[in-house]
Amino acid sequence: MKRLAVSLCIVSIAMMPIAGCDSGTSSIELSERTVSVAEFRTYAQKVGTVFADTSWDQLGQVAIEEISIPAFSGGDSIWGALGCDDRGHIWFGVSGNSARLFEWIPDSKTMLDHGDVNAALKTAGLLRQGERQGKIHSHIQQADDGYLYFTSMDETSESWRTDTPPKWGSHLWRVRPETGRWEHVLSAPEGLIALHAMGRWVYALGYWNHVMYQYDTVSKHVRSRVVGSSCGHVSRNFIVDLRGHAYVPRIEPRDGGANQDCLAQELQASLVEFDTRLEEVAATPLEGYLMAKPSGNHGIISYSFLADGTAMFVTHGGQLYHLIPAGRGPAMLLPQTQLHPDENAYTASLFSVDGERFLAGVGNSKAGMQWIRYDRRSGKSSASALDLPAHKALLMYGSMARDLQGDFYVGGRIQDHFGYMRPILFRLSLQGGEEG
């Protein structure tokens, strides 16, 4: 199989100027000279993925390998907390009594343990008596300043019915990939469940009511904005384009009523676009978004960027959307088909394989965990069973994370023979076939 990693910063004329790919450069000190990290980052690195040539037939032949994760106290799952750095190393967070951060180096098959959240809080002098930070839930993504960003969070005593946030709130962190040293960026009372970094901008989304935080890696300034969400709805992901515009779902009563008696309310969903000043640009209706009860609806569950600067994403009900940012004015949002060929599969994993034509991901369907492939040119999709070991209560998440060989990474949890949950990490590789 021939694999070609795409290193480009190409966007279509209808989207945005190429200069946007290098806006907001930052610099670091290396060998007593100052260099700009952003100047050397490709488009694929900025969006946090790798593109590789493939064919439809080749995309249907996938091998899956489990990567062993070091055991630690209470470790139970990878809740979509995956990402890759510019070197193609895979970073992931495992939830537990105190969530831990790991780095997988594919070339040497080396696993590095970078410690846990509470230890990092203690080192920073920020650990409070009795504090819990059991989850790293967010995507892990590198910004133009060279740091990897992610969030940790608590869930103690939270309640959407009373708008009660997690007792210990959340923290935004960054690490330098070369050292793995943690640096604390900010604390928030909300549960910061999602993160997206793009260029100089880092955004995090918290609950309840979809509160969005923005961190400017150049000025170090922090802003926040309430986007709005009703009835306990929390989207697991959101999108940030090359200009730093953020796109977040908003759920609200159609009649503008208060957030009460949710079962009796008629709700509406929209995707709200914000510019880098956190000013609202537009709100576009999200058709097919509210296919599950708000509190059980995970919103945008997976996403991936194409090589032209546009993005594809999938919602809880399996609906595929195409987000097309504009050079000026609001973005276009185009509903596509269901990603799975037969049903509304929960597909919490999405990859733009070649950056243009083919999408793939792992979905949880009635038939179990399946590898789903989709041809954007023809609209054809297919799903096939993954060759997994015997399992119970298997969950799998993760988008965008690929190594320099083009292999895909997903994580989740599995129930062992004794009834205990443990985290899992899988590498999926395309096998054989002719290009075309």
Residue 291: which pLDDT band, with cuts at 50, 70 and 90? confident
CB-based contacts of 75, cutoff 8 Å, min separation 6: 69, 94, 95, 96, 100, 422, 423
For 390, phi and psi rounded to 5 degrees?
Answer: -55, 135
The separation between CA 247 and the C-alpha centre of its own chain, rounded to angstroms, equals 13
Residue 3 has a pLDDT of 41
- Look at residue 186 in the predicted model and tell me its pLDDT: 98
Q: Give the whole-angstrom CA distance, residue 243 versus residue 228.
A: 23
Mean pLDDT of 400-425: 93
Provide mean pLDDT across the span 256-276.
82
Instruction: Identify the residue with better confidence: 306 or 288.
Output: 306
Cis before 208 (ω within 30): yes
Share of residues in the chain with pLDDT > 70 (%):
88
**Contacting residues for 177 by C-beta, under 8 A, at least 6 apart:** 85, 86, 87, 89, 91, 103, 142, 146, 147, 148
Q: Return the DSSP state at 120.
A: H
* Cα separation values, 219 from 24, 177, 202, 223, 410, Å: 10, 21, 12, 11, 34
CB neighbours (10 Å) of residue 243? 22
Tokens of 131: 């504090």
Q: What is the CA radius of gyration of the chain?
A: 20
Cross-strand bridge partners of residue 408 = 402, 428
CATH level 3 topology of 78-354: Methylamine Dehydrogenase; Chain H (2.130.10)
**pLDDT tens readout for residues 213-226:** 999 999 999 999 99
Residue 214 to residue 199: CA distance in whole angstroms: 12
Average pLDDT over residues 77-96: 97
CB atoms within 10 A of CB 380: 12
Work out the mean pLDDT of the chain and round it to a whole number.
89
Contacts of 353 (CB under 8 A, 6+ apart): 51, 52, 54, 59, 359, 360
pLDDT surpassing 90 at residue 66: yes
Sorted by where each begins, the domain ranges of the chain are: 78-354
Residue type, 259: N
